[in-house]
Amino acid sequence: MLEEKKIPYKIYLEEDEMPTSWYNVRADMKNKPAPILNPATLKPITVEELEPIFCRELAQQELDDTTPYIEIPQEIRDFYKMYRPAPLVRAYCLEKALGTPAKIYYKFEGNNTSGSHKLNSAIAQAYYAKKQGLKGVTTETGAGQWGTALSMACSYFDLDCNVYMVKVSYEQKPFRREVMRTYGANVTPSPSNTTHVGRKILEEFPGTTGSLGCAISEAVEAATTKEGYRYVLGSVLSQVLLHQTVIGLETKTALDKYDIKADIIIGCAGGGSNLGGLISPFVGEILRGEADYRIIAVEPASCPSLTRGKYVYDFCDTGKVCPLAKMYTLGSGFIPSANHAGGLRYHGMSSIVSQLYEEGYIEAVSVEQTSVFEAAQQFARIEGILPAPESSHAIKVAIDEAMKCKETGEEKTIVFGLTGTGYFDMVAYQRYNDGEMSDYIPTDDELEASFAKLPKVE
Amino acid sequence: MLEEKKIPYKIYLEEDEMPTSWYNVRADMKNKPAPILNPATLKPITVEELEPIFCRELAQQELDDTTPYIEIPQEIRDFYKMYRPAPLVRAYCLEKALGTPAKIYYKFEGNNTSGSHKLNSAIAQAYYAKKQGLKGVTTETGAGQWGTALSMACSYFDLDCNVYMVKVSYEQKPFRREVMRTYGANVTPSPSNTTHVGRKILEEFPGTTGSLGCAISEAVEAATTKEGYRYVLGSVLSQVLLHQTVIGLETKTALDKYDIKADIIIGCAGGGSNLGGLISPFVGEILRGEADYRIIAVEPASCPSLTRGKYVYDFCDTGKVCPLAKMYTLGSGFIPSANHAGGLRYHGMSSIVSQLYEEGYIEAVSVEQTSVFEAAQQFARIEGILPAPESSHAIKVAIDEAMKCKETGEEKTIVFGLTGTGYFDMVAYQRYNDGEMSDYIPTDDELEASFAKLPKVE
């Protein structure tokens, strides 16, 4: 047997090892995700029908479930080089502190000003908007990472950027707004009085702290009622998951470079795009019968779409202006309690991730907020990176799995996605430091009430 | 002539290329910095006299001006591997946007949770404190970067950490406090009522927003009046500059790896340790007659110790409890206007940097706040990193020099230190975004009044 190569603390790929194409896992899926539907006709939507909302090439990517590799345009690859490759980090210190025989790796996406993986898709979407000659784009943001990422991308390509920010995040993260402003974006707290759908939601739920679903509806309305604008989205959509496969492709190349075989791959799941992007190349191997992995999606117990949702057609937004997708969902009217992982407060789940979960390629677990912050603090103190609350869901389960290895003595290799940093989440950390964090979980009755309002399709 | 190697956007050293020793530039200086003096006797201080304040090994490093290389202990090198090597980045996008023939590189120290280079010395100081069997350390922090860095380092080595934070920063950066708390530190706004010296300063200057000098005095008092504690400092001292040479050593190795010869090296200067750390290996080459470089220290016009100060013995702290150093100083009683580069609001300058400046090895320029934030915003939008206000002083002058190259057509190679990120400086960015930034510069009369209170030594 060959001697094991010494694994550095951080594996950085060389520029010529970085991916030149995104990987479209749908091409290798025998059972494709169900088609998204036109909300007016309830028929599968066409590229032409998507074009009033999305840029042309992004609409094509959204519906393309047959092309396995889609080339990353050179302009995007050049931008990627400014903040990528993201390191694959061996958590030597965490392993030692836990006393586990497990080998723990994390793919760290936080080394850029947006603080997360969101920039991977933001720059792609801004590029296609620019290429199409648009004036600008509109979007929603939850935790603020996506809005920041899009602001950066729009600034780079000189596009106008209008961001609807979920009200609870807007209030908890005032400095996010200033970052976006520094990059030239306009930021509006959602629900707002600037759109029809926002006014309607405010009437129905006066004191609402907002949700991604609401903010999406407002951003879509703003895009479709303004000449030269399109809507862009930071998660859920298959196009976003496609762009995020740069995470998984880099991870796989880094592992292969050192002959490392992952046993367990863990990611947090809100809309599902970072998880989907991380796991796609590995799922592709499973689908093609080339390898096997245990894959775990981690979601907050307060917004448990995979573990407690229904796999049905639903609207992607609260205002019901977007296409319908078949997905694990809590109902588009579900507004989760104001937990601090704002980026995971979405009622549904990527249709790709949903289909893979339905077929058993992915497991899912839900975890409570306080236990997530315990893991976050532990990780920060040991590994030196203060993680985003969203990312900390994956940390929590990675630690749990490593502790199971300690019990059994198994030397499993665990890879998890550390999607971002928590530098703009200090209000949440303060709550945790002060012992004031709540762990509200929706009751069965609340979920049933939400399910009752699901659209009847087929 | 050989073909120029393709320079990647980011040069990361391999682990086995990382420095194993710090470089002590004093060993190569013909004219050593003047010795620091015991404030009680006004005689050169000894290691024994320093020991009540500093850890033993750090006291030795402070006074050692003959050993050229000091080995970095393995425990520190292991910690360095968690967040280093810092990338040397080729600013291709900035060059293109400026239309300059200059080649611009920056050494980026912001990829860690402290957000800056401060961690390089924090982990070293915490290590020596732990090795000596101490319970904990006390310190001051200005912008909060040093306090955060020390909190992280103390958490790693399980040491108690007490931070006196300059009041203006404490108020402008509430979230810094939460980061420090997350790492288990106690944070007190300075001046405070918890020390004799703090109470005295509050009586003399009731509405003061504090200064590094005040906070140092409080931290020293807290350390020397508590069993098992020592004082640690994030800048100014020669020991800190020594630890920061990891920046310059990595930079030089990265440049050498690609046969790049720097023409101009630029760093921001507050207490002088990041600048000194960046330039030390290059100054060493100048001192040994092996190479020549133009080196520029950039300081804020509101606190211009090099460009408008006097080169004399002065106290390092407002409370006059610390040793005296011969340095460029504005007087230890000088309290600069509340500008937003909190880390550069120190009245004096590293004695090493001061001596090098006195002998003409270094140039110095001062720049005004608003122009610094203009450069910061420009850099953020083009290079994707939102810089710390401190670091942005170097950006401003790097851009100025690159624009001179555009005029003359010279293809100079400019290297600057990007010491950190501005994620906790969004109040400052907000002021800038709102057009509410001031550019107060001290008058000659104000400086003369401060100089009049300088101690009479020799």
Closest CA to A143 of A379, A353, A428: A428
Dump strand ranges (E) for B173-256: 186-190, 229-231
- Round to whole Å and give the CA distance between A52 and B408: 50
Which letter does DSSP use for residue A70 in this model? Answer: E
Asked if residues A346 and A316 have their Cβ atoms less than 8 Å apart, the reply is no
pLDDT average, residue stretch B263-287: 97
Q: Find chain A residues with C-beta within 8 A of B11's C-beta.
A: none
Asked if residues A245 and A284 have their Cβ atoms less than 8 Å apart, the reply is no
Per the prediction, chain A carries an average pLDDT of 94
Dump strand ranges (E) for A111-228: 136-141, 160-166, 186-190
ipTM: 0.93
Please report the number of interchain residue pairs, chain A to chain B, with beta-carbon separation below 8 angstroms: 111
Q: Residue B384: which of A112, A426, A429 has the nearest Cβ? A: A112
Asked if residues B80 and B72 have their Cβ atoms less than 8 Å apart, the reply is yes
Write the CA distances from A92 to A263, A278, A421, A433, integer angstroms.
17, 21, 19, 26
Asked if residues B415 and B397 have their Cβ atoms less than 8 Å apart, the reply is no
Measured in angstroms, the CA of A101 and the nearest CA of chain B are apart by 19
pLDDT band at A4 (very low <50, low <70, confident <90, very high): low
Q: Residue A9: which of B82, B155, B383 has the nearest Cβ? A: B82
pLDDT band at A337 (very low <50, low <70, confident <90, very high): confident
- Round to whole Å and give the CA distance between A233 and A249: 22
pLDDT of residue B170: 86
Measured in angstroms, the CA of A289 and the nearest CA of chain B are apart by 35
Contact A430 B12 (CB under 8 A): no
Q: Looking at the predicted structure, is the pLDDT value of residue B2 above 60?
A: no
Q: Is the peptide bond before B35 cis (omega within 30 degrees of 0)?
A: no
pLDDT of residue B212: 78
Residue A91 backbone dihedrals phi, psi, to 5 degrees: -85, 60
Tokens of B352: 């090493």
Where b means 16+ CB within 10 Å and e means fewer, B162-176 reads bbbbbbbbbebbebb
Q: Which residues contact B107 (CB under 8 A, 6 or more apart)?
A: B86, B87, B88, B89, B247, B250, B251, B278, B415, B416, B417, B418
Interface residue of B113, B148, B391, B425 to substitute, partner A, most A CBs within 10 Å: B113
Asked if residues B335 and B208 have their Cβ atoms less than 8 Å apart, the reply is yes
- Round to whole Å and give the CA distance between B146 and B215: 13
Question: What distance lies between CA B324 and its chain's CA centroid?
Answer: 19
Interface residue of A7, A14, A78, A82 to substitute, partner B, most B CBs within 10 Å: A82
- Other C-beta atoms lying within 10 Å of the C-beta of residue B397: 25
- Round to whole Å and give the CA distance between B61 and B246: 15
pLDDT of residue B458: 67
Asked if residues A140 and A190 have their Cβ atoms less than 8 Å apart, the reply is yes
Q: Residue A377: which of B93, B182, B429 has the nearest Cβ? A: B182
End-to-end CA distance of chain A: 57
pLDDT average, residue stretch A368-372: 96
Interface residue of B7, B152, B187, B426 to substitute, partner A, most A CBs within 10 Å: B426
Measured in angstroms, the CA of B416 and the nearest CA of chain A are apart by 17
Dump strand ranges (E) for A50-192: 69-71, 88-90, 103-108, 136-141, 160-166, 186-190
Q: Residue A386: which of B79, B81, B182 has the nearest Cβ? A: B182
For the sheet containing B264-268, what is the strand order? B10-11, B88-90, B103-108, B413-418, B264-268, B294-300, B363-367
Closest CA to A143 of A163, A123, A158, A121: A163
Q: Looking at the predicted structure, is the pLDDT value of residue B329 above 90?
A: yes
pLDDT of residue B5: 66
Half-sphere exposure of A379 (CA within 13 A, CB side): 32
pLDDT of residue A298: 98
Query: Do strands A294-300 and A310-315 pair parallel, antiparallel, or not at all (unpaired)?
Result: unpaired
- Other C-beta atoms lying within 10 Å of the C-beta of residue A307: 15
Q: Which residues contact B125 (CB under 8 A, 6 or more apart)?
A: B55, B58, B137, B150, B153, B232, B239, B243
Strand partners, A364: A297
pLDDT of residue A7: 92
pLDDT band at B335 (very low <50, low <70, confident <90, very high): confident
Question: What distance lies between CA A153 and its chain's CA centroid?
Answer: 17
Q: Which of A12-16, A315-319, B83-87 has the lowest mean pLDDT?
A: A315-319
Tokens of A66: 């047959």
Q: Return the amino acid letter for B296.
A: I
Q: Residue A113: which of B178, B380, B424 has the nearest Cβ? A: B380
- Round to whole Å and give the CA distance between A198 and A321: 12
SS3 of residue B291 by DSSP? coil
- Other C-beta atoms lying within 10 Å of the C-beta of residue B81: 18
Q: Which of A158-167, A332-341, A358-367 has the lowest mean pLDDT?
A: A332-341
Measured in angstroms, the CA of B234 and the nearest CA of chain A are apart by 18
SS3 of residue A35 by DSSP? coil
pLDDT of residue B4: 57
pLDDT of residue A333: 86
Write out the DSSP string of B103-145. EEEEEE---STT-BTTHHHHHHHHHHHHHTT-SEEEEEESSSH
Strand partners, B329: B310, B348
Tokens of B82: 């968690």
Residue-wise pLDDT tens digits, A199-256: 999 999 998 988 777 888 899 999 999 999 999 999 899 999 999 999 999 999 999 9
- Round to whole Å and give the CA distance between B33 and B269: 18
Contact A423 B175 (CB under 8 A): yes
Q: Looking at the predicted structure, is the pLDDT value of residue B262 above 60?
A: yes
pLDDT of residue A5: 66
Find the helix or strand (DSSP H, E) in which B309 lies: none
Contact A430 B383 (CB under 8 A): no
Which letter does DSSP use for residue A34 in this model? Answer: P
Q: Which of A399-403, B36-40, B126-130, B403-407 has the lowest mean pLDDT?
A: B36-40
Q: Looking at the predicted structure, is the pLDDT value of residue B382 above 50?
A: yes
pLDDT of residue A278: 98
SS3 of residue B274 by DSSP? helix
pLDDT average, residue stretch B208-232: 90
pLDDT average, residue stretch B373-382: 97
Q: Looking at the predicted structure, is the pLDDT value of residue B319 above 80?
A: no
Residue-wise pLDDT tens digits, A7-51: 999 999 999 999 999 999 999 999 999 999 999 999 999 999 999
Query: For every residue of A102-114, which 3-state class applies, written as one string?
Result: CEEEEEECCCCCC
pLDDT band at B86 (very low <50, low <70, confident <90, very high): very high
pLDDT average, residue stretch A48-77: 97
Write the CA distances from A19 to A250, A417, B12, integer angstroms.
7, 18, 18
Percent of chain B with pLDDT over 70: 99
Q: Looking at the predicted structure, is the pLDDT value of residue B3 above 60?
A: no
Top pLDDT among A110 and B318 is at: A110
